[in-house]
Amino acid sequence: MNNFIYHNPTELVFGKGQIARLSKLIPADKRIMITFGGGSAKRNGVYEQVVKALEGRDFIEFWGIEANPSIETLRKAIALGKEHKVDFLLAVGGGSVIDGTKLISAGLLYDGDAWDLVLKGSYDRTVPLASVLTMAATGSEMNSGAVISRYETQEKYAFYSNYPVFSILDPETLYSLPKRQIACGLADTFVHVLEQYMTTPGQSRLMDRWAEGILHTVVEIAPKALGETRDYETMSEYMLSATLALNDMIRMGVTQDWATHMIGHELTALHGLTHGATLAIVINGTLRTLRDQKHGKLLQYGERIWGISEGSEEERIDRTIARTEEFFRSLGLSTHLSEEGIGEATIAEIERRFNASGVHHGEAANVDGAMARRILEACL
């Protein structure tokens, strides 16, 4: 294993009725700004629970952080927070609200335009933030990352700041999610694990088994999570799987990839396609294009997750990649760019962007513009 430092300070508060603990979890003297998305929290009763828990406390609200949070909206939240001298942020929503709030938490202590911080990539002077999670997918509730968009230039970049102080995970909040969001959340969770697992084999048995445990769980619960009635145990496993897939736990001492995510972010920036939906397409292209580089891990994954152990190694890898694509289709997601009306013009633009910024993504730092083109062409 490689050297590493693991320090995840987020307190996880899990289960039914836990939103009521908010008042105890946030220090009494704080001037709070609560941030929300477009309104789902009002429709499903989460808003009511939050304001009830914080009755008598000093708070203001900011509504309207959109899916794929934009700097344009976040600038307004930062201005409001500065005006009210906010010193604690509570994000109520999915990854987008939490990510956006991470940028607000840095922007409140920065004098310039917060987009500078996104371009810088990180900023560690932050106002404390916490979350009430209502959509399981990104792990943002227990990591330090955020992904921020700039709509006017169709850009979308990762930014790192601080971990939430605490996050409340009540699986009942997920009952109101549309099926497509759950499908995208399951796909995002699955691909987060693959980004940290589908690399060089033999680095850590322990990390492999933890990663495989999450993959198995997601595959097992997917049909029930997408079923007609919402089941508490299923939603609990879904919610915790998403958190554990990206809270630094399964990456200790091992290499990571993330090329699929970097290409997926471009598809969202250019087409507005939901994050998990971009991954359900791109991952297949990544596996097909980099199958030689990922040969050993593809065999291990095929055998342990999909029970594929017969035939030549190349046949087993063919079936493993096909089985993976089938899984995403079983969630009701597209697995080809053409199904989303995306073609050559977008591939050319992503190739141009990667070349212009000189990036080399992926475990082997070989996903540049030309390789991104090959990956995208492999999922047309």
Contacts with Zn ion by CB under 5 A: the residue count is 1
CB of 118 to ligand NZQ, least distance (A): 12
Nearer to Zn ion, 188 or 266 (CB): 188
Contacts with ligand NZQ by CB under 6 A: the residue count is 34
Of residues 81, 95, 107, 302, which one binds ligand NZQ by CB under 6 A? 95
Backbone angles phi, psi at 129, to 5 degrees: -130, 155
Structure tokens at 204: 């850590």
Q: Report if residue 155 touches ligand NZQ, rule: CB under 6 A.
A: no
- DSSP assignment of 296-314, as one string? HHHHHHHHHHH----S-HH
Q: Report if residue 188 touches Zn ion, rule: CB under 5 A.
A: yes
Q: Report if residue 266 touches Zn ion, rule: CB under 5 A.
A: no
Alpha helices in the chain (DSSP H): 22-25, 40-43, 46-53, 71-83, 95-107, 114-120, 179-197, 205-225, 232-245, 259-271, 275-289, 295-306, 313-330, 344-357, 369-377
Residues in contact with 20: Cβ distance below 8 Å, sequence separation at least 6, in sequence order = 49, 52, 53
Cα(336)–Cα(380) distance, rounded to whole angstroms? 5
Partner whose binding site includes residue 217, from Zn ion, ligand NZQ, none (CB under 5 to 8 Å by kind): none
Residues from 218 through 257 that contact ligand NZQ (CB under 6 A): 246
Residues from 103 through 142 that contact ligand NZQ (CB under 6 A): 134-135, 137-140
Q: Report if residue 257 touches Zn ion, rule: CB under 5 A.
A: no
Amino acid 167 reads: S
Nearer to ligand NZQ, 38 or 201 (CB): 38
Structure tokens at 185: 């959340």
Of residues 261, 297, 316, 373, which one binds ligand NZQ by CB under 6 A? 261
- Please say whether the beta carbons of 102 and 142 come within 8 A: no
Of 33-41, 70-78, 119-127, 321-329, the window that binds ligand NZQ (rule: CB under 6 A) is 33-41
- Neighbour tally for 229: CB within 10 Å: 7
Nearer to ligand NZQ, 139 or 285 (CB): 139
SS (H, E, C) 46-77: HHHHHHHHCCCCCEEEECCCCCCCEHHHHHHH
Of 31-39, 160-168, 197-205, 317-325, the window that binds ligand NZQ (rule: CB under 6 A) is 31-39
Nearer to ligand NZQ, 261 or 294 (CB): 261
Partner whose binding site includes residue 90, from ligand NZQ, Zn ion, none (CB under 5 to 8 Å by kind): none
Nearer to ligand NZQ, 235 or 375 (CB): 235
Cα(66)–Cα(74) distance, rounded to whole angstroms? 10
Binding site for ligand NZQ (CB under 6 A): 37-41, 44, 67-68, 93-97, 99, 134-135, 137-140, 143, 145-147, 173-174, 176-177, 181, 185, 188, 246, 261, 275
